[in-house]
């Protein structure tokens, strides 16, 4: 018999989540070393790894996007804002700031929806700015549309920190408010309640 978590987080979605975790981890590490290399670092290897994980992130994103509309457990509609989300956005912010009660929401609260919509957009912009930095001469006109190569580099760096901030908040909330979902997402198991 399937649990509610089985329905909320089917295996395909969990695998996609694991792939994103690995991609973001390696992109953050390699990106940091590209930004702040040390003497003797094999920069060619670091850059190649950075691009490999960027391509894997893009491929995973495209597959996940397709699956959300056409897969067996399509869930695109759970990310759309509705009238309840408009009413619960401020109460949800207050709850996260320890100033109010947890409002009743659907599978995702309005702030989660904002994050889950923003992350793919940020990833696309990050990929574009990354390509510009990789091919600055060939993509000079595109760099100019961002305000020049220095602005592209700054924007790419800023987006990295935004990703880190969103992921850090996500991890904090998972471990403080949704630990059962963490166990299910990564291990496919739910803790058994101890019998009294």
pLDDT digits (tens, 9 = 90+) for 125-174: 999 999 999 999 999 999 999 999 999 999 999 999 999 999 898 888 88
Cα–Cα distances in angstroms (integers) from residue 19 to residues 35, 57, 59, 105, 167, in the given order: 24, 8, 10, 27, 14
| Nearest by Cα to 128 from 54, 30, 65 | 54
pLDDT digits (tens, 9 = 90+) for 31-75: 999 988 989 999 999 999 999 999 999 999 999 999 999 988 888
Residue 194 lies in a domain: no
Query: Which CATH number goes with the domain that contains 28?
Result: 1.20.950.20
Q: Please give the pLDDT value at position 192.
A: 57
Residue 149 lies in a domain: yes
Residue 67 lies in a domain: yes
Task: Say if residues 131 and 143 touch (Cβ distance below 8 Å).
Answer: no
Q: Which domain holds residue 30?
A: 4-187
pLDDT digits (tens, 9 = 90+) for 179-191: 777 777 777 666 6
Domain count, the chain: 1
| Residue 102 reports pLDDT greater than 90 | no
Residue 163 lies in a domain: yes
| Residue 2 reports pLDDT greater than 90 | no
Residue 38 lies in a domain: yes
Q: Please give the pLDDT value at position 176.
A: 82
Residue 196 lies in a domain: no
Residue 193 lies in a domain: no
Give the integer Cα–Cα distance in Å for 79 and 55.
24
Residue 130 lies in a domain: yes
Give the integer Cα–Cα distance in Å for 35 and 29.
10
pLDDT digits (tens, 9 = 90+) for 72-99: 888 888 888 888 888 999 999 998 888 8
């Amino acid at each position: 018999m399937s649990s509610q978590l089985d329905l909320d987080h089917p295996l395909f979605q969990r695998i996609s989540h694991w792939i994103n975790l690995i991609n973001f981890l390696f992109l953050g590490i390699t990106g940091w070393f590209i930004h702040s290399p040390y003497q003797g670092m094999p920069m060619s290897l670091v850059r190649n790894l950075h691009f490999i994980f960027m391509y894997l992130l893009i491929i995973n994103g495209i597959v996940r996007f397709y699956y959300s509309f056409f897969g067996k457990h399509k869930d695109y509609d759970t990310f759309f804002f509705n009238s309840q989300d408009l009413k619960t956005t401020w109460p949800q912010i207050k709850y996260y700031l320890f100033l109010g009660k947890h409002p009743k929401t659907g599978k995702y609260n309005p702030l989660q929806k904002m994050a889950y919509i923003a992350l793919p957009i940020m990833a696309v912009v990050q990929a574009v700015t990354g390509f510009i930095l990789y091919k600055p001469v060939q993509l000079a006109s595109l760099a100019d549309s961002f305000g020049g190569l220095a602005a592209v580099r700054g924007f790419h760096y800023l987006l990295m920190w935004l990703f880190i901030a969103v992921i850090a908040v996500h991890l904090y909330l998972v471990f403080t408010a949704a630990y059962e979902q963490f166990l299910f997402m990564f291990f496919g198991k739910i803790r058994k309640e101890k019998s009294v």
